[in-house]
Amino acid sequence: MKELLQCLARYLVSNPEAVGVKETQGDRVSLLELKVAPEDLGRIIRKEGRTAQSIRTILNAAASRVNRKVVLEILDGK
């Protein structure tokens, strides 16, 4: 899941080398923390969070194939 999120985020931002993903795995849930450059935060979230929600949907669809759930947290660049 970590690699999928990195790939998606790098295509959306203007500074792909600033993309960082930290993955913490539990029994059935994976927590993914996405960190991007402060100027790219709006590109990840977009209007009313639609892009962020789409990323969550893609991650959960991929995770459901292995009976897992994914929680995505988008961290601000501070």
CATH code assigned at 7 = 3.30.300.20
Query: 38: which residues sit within 8 A by CB, 6+ positions away?
Result: 76, 77, 78
The structure tokens listed for 62 are 């991929």
Distance CA 72, CA 3 (A): 13
Total structural domains in the chain?
1
The pTM (predicted TM-score) of the whole model is 0.89
pLDDT tens track of the chain, all 78 residues?
999 999 999 999 999 999 999 999 999 999 999 999 999 999 999 888 999 999 999 999 999 999 999 999 999 765
The dihedral sign for the CA sequence 59, 61, 62, 66:
positive
What residue numbers bound the domain in which 22 lies? Answer: 2-75
Per-residue pLDDT tens for 2-13? 999 999 999 999
